């Protein structure tokens, strides 16, 4: 049986994504590449992660959930930066069933850190 990751997005993520996509035209393809080459390569194929590619967001999750930040996101619209583009993706992983829910996407030049209140609201819906 082939393992797959079940991806979900909250409405606020969709709104963030559409706003960024207007500025960075390659964002949709870049996002799909990130899912395939980083998340699926690591969580399905067991490939090692580049240093600091995914970092835990401390103090937010427990039990079977993990909150993560993608720090190595290659955006072709941001030329010559490679995976240091400054795009950040926040998600919650349910490891047992390989379910990833995308919570937030932002450009680091626009805001310094993730919206922990948004993350907390989502986690509250999971009844942890």
Q: What is the pLDDT of residues 7-17, one digit of tens each?
A: 999 999 999 99
**Domain residue extents for the chain:** 6-125
- Whether the pLDDT of residue 81 is over 60: the answer is no
The model's pLDDT over 98-125, given as tens digits with 9 standing for 90+, comes to 999 999 999 988 888 899 999 999 988 8
Q: Contact at 8 Å (CB) between 128 and 61?
A: yes
Q: pLDDT tens digits, residue range 32-76?
A: 999 999 999 999 988 888 888 889 888 777 778 899 999 888 777
Q: Is the pLDDT of residue 82 over 60?
A: no
Which CATH code is given to the segment(s) 6-125? Answer: 3.30.2310.20
* Distance separating alpha carbons of residues 21 and 106, to the nearest angstrom: 11
pLDDT of residue 70: 92
**What confidence score (pLDDT) does residue 128 get?**
52
User: Computed over its alpha carbons, how large is the radius of gyration of the chain?
Assistant: 14
Burial of 50-88, coded b for 16+ CB within 10 Å and e otherwise, reads: eeebbeebeebbeeebbbbbbbbbbbebbeeeebebebb
CA terminus-to-terminus distance, the chain: 29
Burial of 34 (0-12, 13-18, 19+ CB in 10 A): buried
Q: Is residue 84 predicted with pLDDT exceeding 60?
A: no
């Amino acid at each position: 049986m082939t393992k797959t990751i079940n991806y979900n997005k909250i409405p606020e993520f969709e709104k963030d994504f559409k706003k960024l996509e207007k500025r960075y035209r390659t964002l949709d393809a870049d996002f799909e590449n990130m899912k395939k080459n980083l998340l699926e390569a690591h969580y399905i194929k067991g490939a090692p992660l580049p240093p600091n590619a995914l970092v835990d967001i401390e103090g937010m999750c427990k039990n079977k959930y993990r909150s993560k930040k993608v720090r190595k996101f290659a955006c072709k619209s941001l030329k010559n930066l490679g995976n240091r583009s400054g795009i950040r993706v926040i998600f919650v992983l349910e490891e047992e069933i390989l379910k990833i829910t995308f919570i937030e996407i932002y450009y680091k030049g626009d805001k310094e850190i993730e919206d922990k209140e948004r993350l907390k609201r989502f986690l509250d819906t999971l009844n942890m």
